[in-house]
Homo-oligomer: A and B are copies of this chain.
Amino acid sequence: MNDVSIDAARLWASHMEMARIGATPGGGVGRLALSDEDKAARDLFVRWCADAGCQVRVDRIGNIFARRPGTDETLAPVMTGSHLDTQPLGGRFDGIYGVLAGLEVVRALNDVGLATRRPIEVVVWTDEEGARFRAGTAGSGVFAGLSDLEETLALRDPDGRSIGDELARIGYAGDAPVGGFPVAAYFEAHIEQGPILEAEGKTVGAVMGAQGHRCFLITVEGEEGHAGTLPMERRRDALLGAARMIDALNRVAYRFEPHPVVTVGSLHVRPNSPNTVPGGATFTIDSRHPDDAILDAVEGAMRAACAAVAEEMGLGLTVAPTAHRVPVVFDEGCVESVRRAAAALGIPWRDIYSGAGHDACNMAHVAPTGMIFVPCERGISHNERENAKPEDLAAGCAVLLRVLVERADDAAT
């Protein structure tokens, strides 16, 4: 274990070569799921895996599994991976890092001829981003039994093309069944997509789980009026009410420790005319926290805050839930493995929660799961400017190597 080590330069070079597929003028990547660019990226990955001696199979939802055999092929594999698709104007690391870090582990083991008892599988999940077919984590969702295969294959993009048709078109409609076999453990390496590690000078985040997530659509009803003739005291201004609610919702977040994140990201005003007192306003709330009980309390406080403003101002109010995802808690053993590996390698680390959703959140339903976060520049992601340092990617990959080998040599489960 101490005589195997990953090749930081090779890992970086693989990222840069992969980033040429769908490269955007702004320095990012545009590689929508099941596009020609996604096919090219998959083809490159498959070629690299074949070169590394892996057996490659593709399942019916297009997930690719590259298997480095173990010394005991009767044992369940340990698995690692992520996705190769990106947002329309995405970056070079979101998802790709998890795939290429897994490949680098295989290459590093090959470099020294180290065999593991369990097989190690590097997986590319289909359509994690959801930018094209609007589902998100589609391949891992079917694998984990959380989504129906046929329904997922039938999802269509805005041009009417289905996932099933596009998989067939690009040659990735595989014949392997989706899931249904035991996975000893799943680890996913990923850029943080947030600013915490960078700000605190930590190189690795031991991800304890993913935040619960509740979204709401708020509608405020007032009454339109002439901006020049309606006296202040007689107004029922829906935008003013919405503004006071937005301020109050922000203050709700600070009443809980650790703070949930509460975001009003989208607001529409009716009629949105400079010389008309607004008659209506509609806005979204996005609230997230790792603890569902706190999310319950936050929701209650948010509803009360909006109701108090509406009541005081004589405004109509409706609060419609639009999304409700419970927190995901990763396997304590897997999280501890990540912590121990980082500590053993002398890499500064901290516990962290994922603010975004990942394929690992699906995998946590069917296998002991952990994630390894590395910093990204200024926390920027889903953006062409997304950036990460070669040495941070290498550090996370070294941790991944260590936890995968540890699990692959553990025949207990």
Contacts and interface: CB of A to CB of B under 8 A. Distances in A.
Interface stretch (A64-72, A144-152, A176-184, A230-238): A230-238
Interface stretch (A9-17, A116-124, A264-272): A264-272
Contact of A265 (B215, B262, B265, B276): B276
Given A194-B226, A226-B379, A228-B288, A263 B277 contact: yes
A240 interface: yes
A330 B102 CA distance: 81
A356 B253 CA distance: 42
Contact of A267 (B253, B267, B379): B267
Nearest to A286: B227
A211 interface: yes
B266 A273 contact: yes
Interface string A366-379: 00000000000001
A122 to B, nearest CB: 25
A387 to B, nearest CB: 15
Looking at chain A's contact residues, is the secondary structure mostly helix, strand, loop, or mixed?
mixed
A365 interface: no
B228 A261 contact: yes
A275 B269 contact: no
Contacts of A211: 228
Contacts of A265: 227, 239, 269, 272-278
A193 interface: yes
Contacts of A199: 234
Contacts of A231: 194-196, 259, 261
Given A240-B264, A269-B266, A259 B232 contact: yes
Residue among A231, A242, A288, A379 with max Cβ neighbours from chain B (10 Å): A231
Interface stretch (A35-43, A104-112, A243-251): A243-251
Contacts of A339: none
B226 A381 contact: yes
A179 to B, nearest CB: 26
Contact of A250 (B194, B240, B381): B240
Nearest to A281: B267
Contacts of A132: none
A213 interface: yes
Contacts of A213: 228
A272 B262 contact: no
Contact of A275 (B192, B250, B286): B286
Contacts of A272: 265-268
Contacts of A27: none
A286 B226 CA distance: 11
A225 interface: yes
A355 interface: yes
A217 to B, nearest CB: 9
A247 B250 contact: no
Contacts of A284: 274
A239 B286 CA distance: 14
Contact of A274 (B229, B286, B382): B286
Contact of A195 (B234, B267, B269): B234
Interface of A: 192-196, 199, 211, 213, 215, 225-234, 237, 239-240, 242-244, 246-247, 250, 253-254, 259, 261-269, 272-278, 284, 286, 288, 354-356, 379, 381-382
20 contacts: A194-B229, A195-B234, A199-B234, A211-B228, A227-B261, A228-B286, A230-B355, A231-B259, A232-B253, A233-B259, A237-B250, A239-B264, A240-B246, A240-B264, A242-B243, A243-B244, A243-B264, A265-B272, A265-B273, A265-B276
The 9 A-B pairs with the shortest beta carbon distances in the complex, nearest first, are A194-B229, A228-B355, A229-B355, A227-B263, A243-B246, A243-B243, A274-B284, A227-B286, A265-B274
